[in-house]
Structures are given as structure tokens and as C-alpha cells.
Homo-oligomer: A and B are copies of this chain.
């Protein structure tokens, strides 16, 4: 991480060295120079530079840029900044930018706007582009339809390579991805794909049909984004075509969309494992109360479940009065059990997410984790036994130490098996295994280990 900071710092300085120059040029209103200055920067870098300027300067900077660079920058900005900035543009600039940004990014932008603003913005856009927004807004955000872009390269069957290249040259300027060209029939039904590599390698007179790949991996338009991500990651394509029920070509999902999806899904999994509730768009800008509310849900459930442990201890007060040293080890036994459970659960949740472990492996995994649990349990049990012998107590030491040591073995074994089994059982039941969080495991293990503790104590110390 240290190294990374250095790497980041280098990029950082590359950008921020030019801040004084930009300020100077802005104050002199030298638009041409500003435009030229940004030739050396990627849109995402311009976004970071913009953060250092106020709204008025941002508008000036945008007006100095070509519309395609401006659109590229705009689509990478935070949602809040986009709305604020767009509000400050004049009507022409508004329309230009909205027409130019990538369809998938544009829909993300529109989806967070109130209905009234959507209508107002659509009115100033070109008809065709506005129609595209309306079409894409119909799809659920988390499906292929909500993720795809409609700017893909398309040609009709039957034409020659030369004609295909000509069509491509005419349309390529506005497309996000021209390296795969989708071949459709007259009714837009997807027939196959040719890559730009195929096109430039083939004789110009050849027909498209001679180079077309008809073995197609397609994405149904209503497919969940998580499955889409897995499918794209599995096949090493730069993009996959999205089709409707009638195999009509609707859009494409590119590999960089996939990276965003993977990132989101991983964040969600981590939040779930931490039982931290719903992931909000942006941690820093979310109100503490909102975050507290999200986290409360799980915590309340776990606290109420946790009451069971206090009730169990309440029922055994005579035992505890007589064998008070038993109480000293309650946190240690519960804590270690919980930790062993978290270890196994984190491994299993992740293995299920990557597909390394599948449902059919369930018995193999549980058997394996049981063995692992015994091995760890025996090791830690011995450690605890030794600690117990250091007690300064009046009660007989030997049976007490034995009780504590044996409980450690049993607790860790059961916790490990349970930690591994729960995510698989959740998946088997059609639930999300990532819901098996650390806190859920510790709470379940807490109660289990108390039960084991008292049972072993009862048998060895002989009360009951």
C-alpha cells in the first residue's frame, strides 16, 4: 500500500502541476490555450482537475473544450456534480453534451433525476437520442438492459468486406467500440459477428458471410448484471451482444462496464460479510443517521438473538456461583469459536462467489472443514488447558482445566464446520451466501459454545 501511495502520488503530481497554469489562462480567458493544454490529459484526469475549481471556472473550462472531450469528461463526473454543472450551462451546450455522452452513462445520469427534469432535458435533446434514453430507461438498472450501450457497430448481411469497412468508417466516429461488428438481418435479428481484425485481414471483395462467426455468446436483455459479469469474465471478449427474446440486437456490454460491476458486487459482498447493511453510493457524502439506520437492522436482530446467551447464563447461576472460574473463560471460548467460524465462512463465501466451490461439493467441504476444525481445536485446546492451570483458585484445578480445554476443542470444531456449512446451505436454499456475515456466525457460535460449555462442565464437574 505504501508503494501504491507513491504510484498514486506520481499521477497526482502530473495533474496538479498544471493547476497554476490553468488558473492563469482562465483569468485571461484564453480558451484556445486551455483546450490545447488538455490535449495531454485523459477525461478521468480532467475530472480530478475540475474538483479544484468552482462552478464558474468549470463552466469556462467546459466551454473551451471540444464537445466530444467535454462529453467524455462529463460522463466520468460524480452524479451530484453533473447535475450542478449541467444546470449552469446554456441550453445549446446542455443539449450538445447530453446528445454526445455515451448512452449507458447517460441513462445512469437520467435515472437519478426527478421526473420533471428528465422531461425538460429530453426536450432539448435530438429526437433520436432522446428516444434512446427513453428506451434504455425501461430496463432495470441491474440487468443487461440497464448496463448496455446502444452505440455499437452493425452491418447488414450479404455485403462485401469493402462495403462493410466503408459503413464502419462512416459510423465509427460516434461508436464506443468498433472492434466487433455485429451482422444482422433486415429485421435486426443477430446473425453473427466479425471483428475489425477479420475485416482488415480479409480480401476486400470477399463477402461478410465468408468471415462471419456464427457461434455466438449472447446476453439476454433481462439477465442480472452479476451473471453478465461472470459470463464476460469467462469468455475473453471485449464485448458481448445483448439480445431480446427474438434474438434482435439491442446493445452491447463492454469489458470496462464489467469492471464496474465486479467492483460493485465485491463491495456488496464485503458489506454483507460485515453485516454493514446496504451499500450507499458514496460513504463520505451519506449522512451518519442513514448509515446508522442501515447498520441497526442487523445489529438489533443479533442483539435480540444475543439475549439468548444472557438467558442461558441466568439459568445457570448456581453453577456459576459454585464454579465461578468457569465464567472467566466464557469470553475466550466464545470469541475463539466466533473467530474460527469467521475464518471458515470468509473462505467459503468467497469460494462460492468465484465458483471455486460448487453446491455439489457440499459434503466434501464439510468433511474437510470438520477435520480442519479438529486440528485447530486440539492445538488451541492445549493452549487453553495450560492457561487454565495458571488459575489461582480454591476449587479443584484439574477438572476445571479439562472442562475448558475440551470445550475449546469442541467449540472450534463445531464453529469451523458451521462457518463453512452455513454459506453453502444458504446457497442451496436459493439465498445469497454472502448474507452469512461475520456477526451472524459469531452470534450463532456464541450460543452454541455456551451450550457445549455447560454440557461438558455438567459431565465433568458433576452438577446439573
Contact = CB atoms under 8 A, between A and B. Distances in A.
Interface string A240-278: 000000000000000110110011001101110111110
Contacts of A234: 44
Contacts of A55: none
A313 B296 contact: no
Given A40-B215, A270-B346, A276-B346, A284 B361 contact: yes
Nearest to A380: B303
A19 interface: no
A279 to B, nearest CB: 8
A427 B178 CA distance: 41
A114 interface: no
B288 A431 contact: no
Given A262-B262, A432-B1, A306 B283 contact: no
A340 B330 CA distance: 20
Interface stretch (A26-34, A87-95, A183-191, A438-446): A438-446
A223 interface: yes
Contact of A274 (B5, B263, B342): B342
A375 B310 CA distance: 23
Given A1-B427, A350-B271, A302 B438 contact: no
A165 B200 CA distance: 8
Given A3-B227, A262-B263, A275-B343, A330 B332 contact: no
B299 A328 contact: no
Nearest to A430: B2
A238 interface: yes
A376 B295 contact: yes
Contacts of A7: 223-224, 227, 231
Contact of A375 (B40, B42, B236, B288): B288
A275 B339 contact: yes
Chain A interface residue number, banded: 35 or more
A332 B331 CA distance: 10
Contacts of A383: 300, 303-304
Interface stretch (A60-68, A133-141, A384-392, A454-462): A384-392
Contacts of A439: 338-339, 342-343
A106 to B, nearest CB: 16
A226 interface: yes
A40 to B, nearest CB: 4
A331 B313 contact: yes
A296 B335 contact: no
Given A276-B343, A302-B339, A224 B4 contact: yes
- Name, among A168, A284, A427, A437, the residue most crowded by chain B CB atoms within 10 Å (CB to CB): A284
Contact of A376 (B215, B292, B314, B392): B292
Contacts of A433: 1
A313 B327 contact: yes
A368 interface: yes
A274 B200 contact: no
A282 B365 CA distance: 13
Given A169-B200, A267-B354, A314-B325, A300 B380 contact: yes
B446 A331 contact: yes
Contacts of A310: 328-329, 331-332, 387
A82 interface: no
A325 B42 CA distance: 65
A320 interface: yes
B284 A357 contact: yes
Interface of A: 1-5, 7-8, 11, 39-42, 44, 165, 168-169, 172-173, 178-179, 196-197, 200-201, 215, 217, 223-224, 226-227, 230-231, 233-236, 238, 255-256, 258-259, 262-263, 266-267, 269-271, 273-277, 282-284, 288-289, 291-292, 295-296, 298-300, 302-304, 306-307, 309-311, 313-314, 317, 320-321, 324-325, 327-332, 334-336, 338-340, 342-347, 349-351, 354, 356-357, 359, 361, 364-365, 368, 371-372, 375-376, 379-380, 383-384, 387, 391-392, 427, 430-433, 437-439, 442-443, 446, 450
Given A255-B255, A276-B343, A309-B332, 17 more contacts: A7-B231, A165-B200, A196-B196, A255-B259, A259-B262, A262-B266, A271-B346, A284-B364, A291-B368, A295-B343, A296-B379, A303-B332, A309-B335, A310-B331, A314-B392, A321-B321, A327-B330
